Amino acid sequence: MENSLPEHIAIIMDGNGRWAKKRFMPRSFGHRAGAQSLNKLLKEADKIGIKHITVYAFSTENWSRSEDEVSALMNLLREYIDDYIKDNKNSNIKIDAIGDLSRLDKELQSKIKKLEEISSHKKGLNLHIGLNYGGRDEIIRAVKKLCLNVKNDIISENNIDEKLFSSYLDTKNIPDPELVIRTSGEQRLSNFLPWQSVYSEFYFTDKLWPDFDIKELIKAIEQFKNRDRRFGGR
């Protein structure tokens, strides 16, 4: 039987650097093109009825990139938020961030808060942006909160199950992704949504992220629809 349209698609937007290199341009040029590509894709994905998209914009490991690249990515994020706020009447997209935002600079943290508030009443696609996000870090943060609540007798250890644990994760209000896409030919999860993706279908493409458009997304969805999802059963 054919699967229906995935409700939640998670995307590892990889290949910006190589896309720029092919054009003899700096890596930041590729990230900028990647942000534009994301924006176009979101509008189209909203039109075809996708409800959630989670993107890996900055991982807990990305701090080890050069200072220049980290600051280019942070600036791009600031610009992205400013543009959304300026033009928000024309957008249907609701945005929030997942990850440990406390390591971002204070001004950026308040910008993200404002973005979340301004977009909170939007009725279209939900965009979840992974910022200083790492799956293992998310699990450790959840365990710490859970331990504290057990210690303070707010919950009993006997009540801990998968559902309760999920409610301690950054993705507590988001269904698990049915489909995870990674561009640029790499075939690994790189610490992106490890808890949430245990039953996800994976789609890998050689396309570099700035070249990934709605046609490519539809190809991924078509392939997803033809997969046999058994969830461990027969």
Q: How far apart are CA 209 and CA 202, in angstroms?
A: 16
Please give the residues from 169 up to 198 whose contact with ligand FPP meets the rule CB under 6 A. Answer: 184
Q: Any contact of residue 129 with ligand FPP (CB under 6 A)?
A: yes
Single out the residue of 118, 127, 117, 116 nearest to residue 93, CA to CA.
127
User: For residue 38, what is the DSSP state?
Assistant: H
- Strands of the chain, DSSP E: 8-12, 52-59, 94-98, 126-133, 179-182, 201-204
- Whether residue 3 lies in the annotated active site: no
Of the residues 39, 62, 88, 149, only one is catalytic, namely: 62
- Whether residue 206 lies in the annotated active site: no
Shorter beta-carbon distance to ligand FPP: residue 38 or 146 = 38
Q: How far apart are CA 198 and CA 175, in angstroms?
A: 13
Element (H, E) at 80: helix 67-86
Q: How many residues bind ligand FPP (CB under 6 A)?
A: 19
Of the residues 14, 46, 96, 170, only one is catalytic, namely: 14
Specify the amino acid at residue 7.
Answer: E
User: For residue 145, what is the DSSP state?
Assistant: H
**N-terminal to C-terminal alpha carbon distance within the chain:** 13
Among 9, 10, 11, 13, the residue binding ligand FPP under the rule CB under 6 A is 13
Among 43, 44, 51, 62, the residue binding ligand FPP under the rule CB under 6 A is 62
Among 6, 29, 34, 60, the residue binding ligand FPP under the rule CB under 6 A is 34
Beta carbon of residue 18, minimum distance to ligand FPP (angstroms, whole number): 3
Q: Any contact of residue 29 with ligand FPP (CB under 6 A)?
A: no
Q: Any contact of residue 70 with ligand FPP (CB under 6 A)?
A: no
Beta carbon of residue 34, minimum distance to ligand FPP (angstroms, whole number): 3
Shorter beta-carbon distance to ligand FPP: residue 79 or 222 = 79
Q: How far apart are CA 109 and CA 78, in angstroms?
A: 10
Q: Which residues bind ligand FPP (CB under 6 A)?
A: 13-18, 27, 31, 34-35, 38, 57, 62, 76-77, 80, 129, 184, 209
